């Protein structure tokens, strides 16, 4: 049983490759089923955001699992490219460490951004609801959420807020210097559009036009931010009076092309227009940049803006790394209990402890037993224990040969309360330490 990760991100692949491997949420169920049908994959979660597509899996074999994931991604890829140039892999400790970095936003384009934790939770929710996760990924992802929350609570990594939407506004300010008096058109009425609008308004923008395929949603957002909703089919006509256009829709195709923008700029008498496309897949045809008065930036172009806001967060990231290292060790400790050999050893120890305790109780009732009688009792009880445990232990060892074998080991631990035993021992140990400290304190006084 191995945990593996395969994927690509803003660090390894350009936007045209990332958008070719984007997974719409309504299609995740089918794709998860495809993954689970693979020979080596027993659990899986698909994480798909504008900056990354990653598959987390539990596999019976590392090399076989990696091949299964690679084949799956290649079949899904919509562009002609050598995908191996962009893919990365993590396995075992590295895979756990990577997920904790992702949920803590250390692997994001903008360190400390708050959206990724919610996105990972949503990805896990889809997998859980489609029965694509079991003991290992359930434990791993729930642990990752706690790690992400702890990092944000125990460090200042989320201070001096920056995000894709914030960076878009910063880029607009560099072009126009003063945003007051400018007219902005937002295309798309989702959360990203709302965040971008709020950043714009805090920087002096008063006129905001909102276009969305669903006019009702445009109206709803307009009420929230005191903007003006416009009908989607009038978008190009209204764009003539916009100085800045920011797009963030879920469209699989371009919503603005070169011909559209030529028409808009002609009516603007060649006055420049600033376009920021923060959607993946992209909303605006990159050929628009060929028009002299159109200045188009996509999500990758925001990277230079992002870099200037990360100095403090980078310092806080060092503290986050310490937290993650500790939490990885904690998770590995739990994961090791799923190995069949230590589980069998613990089961035998518990059985032996129960056997000895019961013999001592019986001796109190039976009185003094001769050595021969005591040996007979020991032989009898040992025989019962060995015969009772023999078949479960054989089955547990055999189960390790199947891709879902660890589930049987986890069930064994649950049914016999092996992890409860560990928790009780830890509690007793902690209590004894407290008593020792109190004793030392009293002696010192």
Q: Which residues of the chain have pLDDT under 70?
A: 160-163, 304-306, 308-309, 336-341, 397, 399-407, 419-445
278: exposed, middle or buried (C-beta count within 10 Å: 0-12, 13-18, 19+)?
buried
- Residue 154 backbone dihedrals phi, psi, to 5 degrees: -90, -5
Distance CA 390, CA 337 (A): 20
pLDDT in tens, 379-432: 898 889 888 888 877 777 676 556 566 667 777 777 878 766 444 443 444 444
**Domains with residue ranges and CATH for the chain:** 2-158 (3.30.460.30), 164-306 (3.40.50.720), 340-444 (no CATH)
Distance CA 106, CA 108 (A): 6
Output the CA torsion sign for 168, 169, 170, 171. Answer: positive
Output the CA torsion sign for 375, 376, 377, 379. Answer: positive
pTM, two decimals, is 0.58
Q: Report the greatest alpha carbon distance in the chain.
A: 111
Output the six-digit token pair for 288: 């628009």
pLDDT in tens, 128-186: 999 999 888 999 999 999 999 999 999 888 776 566 777 777 778 877 878 888 899 99
Instruction: List the catalytic residue out of 32, 50, 244, 255.
Output: 50
Instruction: Enumerate the H helices of 130-176 as residue ranges.
Output: 135-154, 164-176
Distance CA 445, CA 120 (A): 53
Instruction: Enumerate the H helices of 11-87 as residue ranges.
Output: 15-20, 28-36, 62-76
Note if 81 is an active site residue: no
Q: Sheet harboring 88-91: ordered strands across?
A: 41-48, 52-59, 2-9, 88-91
- Report yes or no: 209 and 186 within 8 Å, Cβ to Cβ: yes
């Amino acid at each position: 049983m191995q945990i593996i990760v395969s994927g690509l991100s803003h660090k390894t692949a350009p936007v045209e490759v990332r958008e070719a491997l984007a997974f719409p949420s309504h299609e995740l169920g089918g794709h998860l089923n495809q993954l689970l049908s693979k020979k080596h994959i027993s659990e899986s979660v698909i994480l798909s955001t504008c900056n990354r597509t990653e598959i987390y899996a539990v596999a019976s074999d590392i090399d076989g699992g990696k091949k299964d994931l690679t084949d799956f991604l290649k079949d899904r890829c919509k562009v002609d490219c050598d995908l191996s140039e962009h893919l990365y892999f993590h396995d075992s400790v590295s895979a756990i460490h990577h997920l904790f970095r992702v949920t803590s936003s250390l692997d994001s384009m903008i360190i400390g951004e708050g959206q990724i934790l919610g996105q990972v939770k949503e990805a896990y929710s889809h997998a859980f609801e489609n029965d694509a996760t079991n003991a290992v990924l359930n434990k791993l992802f729930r642990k990752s959420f706690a790690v992400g929350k702890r990092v944000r609570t125990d460090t200042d990594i989320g201070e001096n807020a920056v995000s894709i939407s914030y960076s878009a506004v910063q880029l607009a300010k560099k072009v126009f210097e003063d945003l007051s008096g400018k007219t902005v058109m937002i295309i798309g009425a989702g959360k990203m559009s709302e965040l971008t609008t709020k950043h714009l308004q805090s920087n002096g923008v008063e006129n905001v036009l909102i276009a969305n395929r669903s006019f009702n949603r445009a109206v709803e957002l307009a009420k929230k931010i005191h903007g003006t909703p416009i009908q989607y089919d009038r978008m190009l006509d209204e764009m003539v009076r916009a100085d800045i256009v920011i797009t963030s829709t879920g469209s699989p195709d371009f919503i603005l092309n070169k011909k559209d923008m030529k028409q808009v700029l002609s009516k603007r008498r060649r006055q420049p227009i600033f376009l920021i496309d923060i959607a993946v897949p992209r909303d605006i045809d990159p050929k628009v940049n060929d028009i002299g008065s159109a200045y188009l930036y996509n999500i990758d172009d925001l990277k230079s803006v992002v870099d200037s806001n990360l100095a403090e967060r980078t310092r806080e990231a060092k503290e986050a790394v310490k937290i993650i290292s500790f939490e990885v060790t904690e998770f590995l400790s739990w994961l090791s209990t799923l190995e069949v050999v230590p589980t069998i050893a613990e089961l035998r120890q518990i059985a032996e402890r129960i056997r000895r305790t019961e013999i001592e109780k019986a001796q109190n009732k039976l009185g003094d037993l001769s050595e021969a009688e005591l040996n007979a009792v020991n032989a009898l009880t040992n025989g019962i224990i060995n015969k009772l445990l023999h078949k479960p232990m054989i089955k547990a060892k055999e189960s390790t040969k199947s891709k879902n074998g660890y589930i049987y080991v986890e069930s064994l631990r649950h049914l016999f309360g092996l992890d409860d035993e560990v928790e009780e021992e830890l509690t007793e140990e902690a209590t004894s330490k407290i008593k020792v400290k109190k004793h030392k304190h009293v002696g010192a006084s």
